[in-house]
Amino acid sequence: MTSFKFNGIKKDYLFILMGFNRSAWAPIERDILTVPGHPGGYHLQTNTKVRTIEVPVIVKAKDQADLQKKKEDLACWLIQDEPKELIFDDEADRTYMAMLDGETDLDELIFRGKGTIRFVCPMPYKLGETKTEDFAIKGTDLKVNIANKGTVESSPIVEVNVLNKSPFIDVWNGNEYFRLGYPTGPMTKLVAKEDRVIWDKMDNLSKWNPHNGPLGSLFEGAGSMEIAGSGHGFRPSTYGPVKENTWYGPILKQSLPPGGATDFKVDMRLSFDSLSYDRMGTIMLFLLDANDNIVAQLGMKDEYDTSSITKAYTVINDGPEEKTLIDDTGRTPGSFTDFRGHVMLTREGNTWTAYSALYKKGTYQDYETIIETWNDVNKSNPATTSIVTKVAIGIFKYGDYSPLDAIFIEDLKVYKKFSVPVDATPYIVDQGDTVVVDTERALVTVNGKDAINIKELFSEFPVVNRGENEIIVRPKNIGTAKVTYRERYR
């Protein structure tokens, strides 16, 4: 007897009964405009409706009590908040994106339950396997040729790893195009709106100097950092001797180029696993002036020894004059407990912008974000006019409490910001940036952050058409690119 896999799981007690049939294609509906006195009508459009799949099943159990437990297990498995992959044994090379609908009444026979499970597919097409193709320079273009054997167009994800700065990025397929920024001519004045002065991939400790002793009013440097086993990412090797009622742990400092930064942006990527309720920890990025005074501090913290509650944290200045911009758990108290994402802070003139984002699982795309802006109109806070000359990173434990198990600083970028003249065009991407264009979600990101504001209004998200496609990324020297897609079938 056959069965199916849902959300990557298959149950050994569930089987599909004989007589199970699926529709040959997703249901379609024609919109016909009828006109009095005119025979027939005019075809306006075709709508593809939600696909419904009714699966007759039998549940095997040892006895009646076991059957009731199997029902509970079915509910736990099948009831999901969003569509999940559904794969039938007799159609193993096709995937439905389905979710349970309605109720399932099982006729209880001797040690068996028989009934019908109803799935709905909001995205009605069947999917083939995931395919990834790399772009390559062919002639004068960075392009890839794709033969889409599906029966409808596919919604791809195009990822560009930038090696050369550019004021625009295009993705072309035939006469259709998607555009970020805007192309320029030879007479156009191009300027950088920011200059990256530090890009540390956290794979070399020699660039950093340890800081021992107090830093600001809350933290104390002690212990040492090490590089994670993967060769990428800093984590504590020791926290130093126990210090009661204090946040302490390894702190590393690095200087900015001479002159420091007045207008700036900092961006730190980190992992912060706070799933154990009885552990506490903090990751912090400090912006310092020439005297090691804190201009700003941002990161993630778990200050609770009896609960797993993680907060994003951004504060301007330190001590009596500090201004809190973010001190938040996200959408729910548990949103950030298993955090992999990044924290950012920008200062331009009198305006501070704090940004904390949790990545969508398995990606570098921002999923849940917090944004706060503060305009210090009168420059009332001394930090607004302070010049940042150094950055420091720290990972801390509190007193004798157990520290977090998995806590890493993965990447740090520091930029000096510049004003763009009205007669100039700014670069929108620079070396090391990653641009992701996700058609299915109508989302474009640069380094994980939503960049829809720089998308050309009249350009469209790219699709992989049925049949032959020649997809081109411009400019051709932008870097490397790949496209990921799944063929779709009616």
pLDDT reading at 109 higher than 70: no
pLDDT computed for residue 108 by the predictor: 66
pLDDT reading at 104 higher than 80: no
Query: What CATH number is associated with residue 48?
Result: 2.40.30.200
Instruction: For residue 368, list its beta bridge partners.
Output: 358
Could you tell me what percentage of the chain is helix, strand and coil, using 3-state DSSP and rounding each to the nearest 5?
Answer: 5, 50, 40
The answer to whether 311 and 324 have CB atoms below 8 angstroms apart is no
The answer to whether 289 and 283 have CB atoms below 8 angstroms apart is no
3-class DSSP state of 227: strand
The answer to whether 415 and 197 have CB atoms below 8 angstroms apart is yes
pLDDT computed for residue 111 by the predictor: 65
Burial 158-191 (b: 16+ CB within 10 A, else e): bbbebeebbbbbbbbbeeebbbbbeeeeeeeeee
Domain boundary among 389, 417, 445: 417
pLDDT reading at 106 higher than 80: no
Give me the chain's average pLDDT, please.
92
Structure tokens at 397: 């434990």
With residue 52 as reference, give the H or E element that holds it.
Answer: strand 51-60
Domain boundary among 106, 124, 142: 124
Domain boundary among 359, 383, 417: 417
The answer to whether 347 and 283 have CB atoms below 8 angstroms apart is no
CA dist 347 and 334 (Å) reads: 30
What is the full DSSP assignment across 230-244? TS--EEEEE--S--T
The answer to whether 400 and 241 have CB atoms below 8 angstroms apart is no
pLDDT confidence tier of residue 176, bands split at 50, 70 and 90? very high
pLDDT reading at 449 higher than 80: yes
Structure-token match 């302070």, residue found: 386
What is the full DSSP assignment across 157-202? EEEEEESS-BSEEEEEETTEEEEEE----TT--EE-SEEEEEEE-S
Burial 128-149 (b: 16+ CB within 10 A, else e): beeeebebeeeeebbbbebebe
* Same domain membership, residue 138 and residue 215: no
pLDDT reading at 308 higher than 90: no
* Same domain membership, residue 332 and residue 384: yes
pTM of the model: 0.81
pLDDT computed for residue 144 by the predictor: 96
Taking residue 426's Cβ as centre, other Cβ atoms within 10 Å add up to 16
Domain containing residue 463: 127-193+422-489
Higher pLDDT, 174 or 422: 174
pLDDT computed for residue 1 by the predictor: 78
pLDDT reading at 435 higher than 70: yes
Closest to 126 measured CA to CA, from 101, 151, 147, 146: 151
pLDDT reading at 62 higher than 90: no
pLDDT computed for residue 410 by the predictor: 95
* Same domain membership, residue 214 and residue 80: no
Residue 272 burial (C-beta neighbours within 10 Å; 0-12, 13-18, 19+): buried
Domain count along the chain: 3
* Same domain membership, residue 142 and residue 74: no
* Same domain membership, residue 342 and residue 233: yes
Instruction: For residue 42, list its beta bridge partners.
Output: 33
Instruction: For residue 296, list its beta bridge partners.
Output: 287, 316
Closest to 218 measured CA to CA, from 195, 196, 193, 251: 251
Pairing of strands 107-109, 96-100: unpaired
> DSSP assignment, residue 256?
P
Express as a percent the part of the chain with pLDDT over 90: 75
3-class DSSP state of 459: coil
* Same domain membership, residue 115 and residue 35: yes
* Same domain membership, residue 235 and residue 177: no
pLDDT computed for residue 45 by the predictor: 92
Backbone angles phi, psi at 62, to 5 degrees: -75, -35
Region 74-82: what's the mean pLDDT?
92
* Same domain membership, residue 80 and residue 61: yes
CA dist 45 and 70 (Å) reads: 45
Higher pLDDT, 459 or 185: 459
Written as one letter, the residue type at 159 is E
* Same domain membership, residue 207 and residue 188: no
CA dist 253 and 61 (Å) reads: 62
> DSSP assignment, residue 20?
-
Query: What CATH number is associated with residue 249?
Result: 2.60.120.200
* Same domain membership, residue 440 and residue 319: no
Could you tell me which residues come within 8 angstroms of residue 347 by beta carbon, excluding any fewer than 6 positions away? 262, 263, 264, 296, 353, 384, 417
CA dist 421 and 416 (Å) reads: 16
CA dist 254 and 382 (Å) reads: 22
pLDDT reading at 110 higher than 60: no
Q: What strands, in cross-sheet order, belong to the sheet with 479-489?
A: 126-134, 479-489, 157-162, 434-438, 443-446, 449-450
Region 144-172: what's the mean pLDDT?
95
Task: Determine which of 21-30, 110-119, 162-171, 227-236 has the lowest per-residue pLDDT on average.
Answer: 110-119
* Same domain membership, residue 261 and residue 141: no
Closest to 301 measured CA to CA, from 218, 234, 233: 218
The answer to whether 88 and 10 have CB atoms below 8 angstroms apart is no
* Same domain membership, residue 433 and residue 366: no
CA dist 274 and 336 (Å) reads: 8
pLDDT computed for residue 229 by the predictor: 80
pLDDT computed for residue 406 by the predictor: 83
User: Mind listing the pLDDT tens digit for each residue in 316-354?
Assistant: 999 899 999 999 999 888 899 889 999 999 999 999 999
Written as one letter, the residue type at 469 is N
Region 444-454: what's the mean pLDDT?
93
